[in-house]
Chains A and B, each alone.
Chain A
Amino acid sequence: MSLTTAPATAPTDDASATEPQRPRRAPRIGQSFAMFRNGKSLAGLAILGVFVVVAVLAPLIAPYDPLEKDFMALRQPPSAAHWLGTTHMGEDVFSQIVYGTRGVLVVGFLAGVLATLVAVIVGVVAGYVAGWRSESLSALTNVFLVIPGLPLIIIVASQYEDPPLMLIAGVLAITGWAWGARVLRAQTMSLRNRDFVQAAKANGEKLWRIIAVEMLPNLTAIIASSFVGTVTAAVLGLTTLAFIGVIPITNLNWGTILFWAQQNGAFPDYWWWYIPAGLCIALLGMALSLVNFGIDEYVNPRLRSAGERARAARRKGLQVDGGVTEVRTVSGTGDDARAG
């Protein structure tokens, strides 16, 4: 998360380098994280944090080497020695999942960072400039939105015997940046005509400074949300590619585990081999979506308060299936009560 907010806060620091603005620096940085300060985002970040810790400390957490073979314990159900059982080669499934977290997170975040960079550059520029330049960048974005990503990735990856991780992350990024760019363009276009941007322009500020200092801090929430969205898509894309077998099996991730499970007839009997890996993917995806819900509610306060308002109305005994009617209905029933 800090990855995306960093570029937005860094220019803020440069801007506040002048004396009078200095005291504002601390609260400003705090504001950049305000979108994460709600239950949903925090829950998502907590789950994400657990996965990051597992990935970093993999050698300490995993009881075995992921590829260590124990031919005395083939296809064992979960036990004290093997928490999540073993594969057809006697490898420990739990250790594989722990080490697999690394592959998933590295590729996911790498693709997310690359895609967000492209999205910010294309989206903000397309939103700021006008005329044919904006139109052509927008057309480019739309083309990438329409072209189906996964088939393209499969074709590109299949041309390599052993596609490097960087290439996979790159292709996932190329097919994943367009949505963020589109949303950023729309938001930048609405920012472009606000007073503070016009004022900066009238002051003769340079283009890059207007974009970096005046606009980017106001786009942080959208950038963060498009980053999280791309990471989710990249994680799903990576595990799917690994499951299909397009990605070399030397890159251990959750999709590879499922690939081996399917290849070796794990379905349906050896449930410990395939259930945990899939649940991990879903859990990581869920964590990322929770972070995004939090950001959505931060950006759109109606989403945040809708449930609370309705519940509060219901506590007062009002009917909630609509905006005002509740008041009318209640006054109506009140009249009835008085009449009766």
Chain B
Amino acid sequence: MTTDAEDHAPAELTGAELVVRTLVDLGVDVVFGYPGGAVLPIYDAIFKQNELRHILVRHEQGAVHAAEGYARSTGKVGTVLVTSGPGATNSVTGLTDALMDSIPVVCLTGQVPTHMIGNDAFQEADTVGITRPCTKHNYLIKEVDNLCQVIREAYYIASAGRPGPVVVDLPKDVVMAKAPYVPECAAPGNGLEHRSYRPQRAPDADAVKRTVELLTRAKRPLFYAGGGVINAGPDAAQSLAALVQRTGYPITNTLMGLGCYPGSDPLFLGMLGMHGTYEANMAMAECDLMIAVGARFDDRVTGRLADFSRGSTKVQIDIDPSSINKNVPVDVAMVGDAGLALDAILAEWEASGAEPSAQVAAWWRQIDKWRGRDCLRYKNSSNTIKPQYALQRLYEATKGRDSYFTTEVGQHQMWAAQFLKFEEPNRWMTSGGLGTMGYGFPAAMGVQVAHPDSLVIDIAGEASLLMTIQELSTMVQYRLPVKTFLLNNEYMGMVRQWQEFFHGGRYAESYMDSLPDFVKLAESFGATGLRARRPEEVDGVIEAMIETPGPVIADILVDKEENVYPMIPAGAAHYEMKLGPEHGELEERSEDGMVLV
């Protein structure tokens, strides 16, 4: 005979089952991971259910990048599951990458049992200690009783305010212990206010008013929008477009912001920064009003700080108060969600009957002169494939399609940012802050998992690709048809470019000798390899790459010594930009540049 109390007692589950149950309750549909001793109970719990899908990567760094690609392309939190010790340490590069680029990721790490912590046990590492500086926050769960609440809190922290990676360290005895399962347990993000972390979302009304006044009075205004707009969601990008188009003022994007404003709109000046367009950088230098939205004045954007846009009044909108006045002092600081702030500015604009400043016509004439320099022009060749040409052809072939692009890090990344145009947010995934070679290939895998029917292309360099090439095995296993557009110049191109400019042309260790045959390499994994050697082969290879089912590596043999232009010499100001050989402006060859980063 049972009592009433027993009838209503919540079911007891193991910690491992609670982990899986909570993830499903949170709406997590996929986890990228790699098993090991400390997480075997969780893998057992995954095995026994069908709601949570697991993608087995080939290296834990790949799992985090895949989760980043998943997160960046969906706006949801990406989830990672790795074991203790080396599983956790291998995830550190991905976590740091997600921290620098504000990507919401939750990484569940196994840990040795609590009674063995601190004893140098097999596969023990101080995971919370190691990941403290490379996560937004981390937890070590010592009691199974608060497991569900902490996991829910981890998802809240990863996505609230400025997003970032969160680690939850799970000792083996905790995931084997039993506790009652409480559906929808109260936690931050689920009915409870967080005790201490409550980022401000609504913008200050006075700052909004002042911004509108400045917008109506400006002679040379410029919007400067970054990845924060994308993190604020697709609605924020729409709000940005509405405000920019209402004013008719020019806009530039950071590398991370590409896609937050339609790339083919005439008000868009292209990317700014070290390899940004001439018109975007000159407009930054000469503007009298700068509206920074979700952008953090990175050193690749500002150039020499002392000469950064000296004549402008600056408004900065950011959800993270520490991003304001960090590198560049601003005149109006607006802490809050980018979408809410932009909506408030537009509402105030309409309510106050504001009209765009009449003097902006002269500003546009100036901008059009800069545009007339055609700064991305390069000398094409009929014998050698120019990387810029290959990307232009790729853009033409994919324009208007449901496509997503990731990149590795280096020259190809900058050319991709220059020559591809993005009409929507969440279509462009790149490692901006940390500059992680090897990011794009596993990130593309995560994007493809989230968008199985879309065209997902990793624009790669051969040096970066070799850093995470093992994930080709994962792509083949799960039939993820990622297309890798490999701009193969047999050099670490950006390293070689800097050695040419700043180190007397001494190409120390930047030549990739003994490269694999990428076609055979693809085939050995069970994927397809293609190759283009001459310009006339490029279109055919692009078409075949897109049409061939399954993962494809298209090995595009490009000019070995092409340099990325335009270029703001490191440590110089925007107006000192060099346009390149096509314009008779070369970067100064000087070893003074050696000290720069």
Decide whether A and B are members of one complex: no
The interface of chain B, by Cβ under 8 A from chain A, is none
Interface residues of A (CB under 8 A from B): none
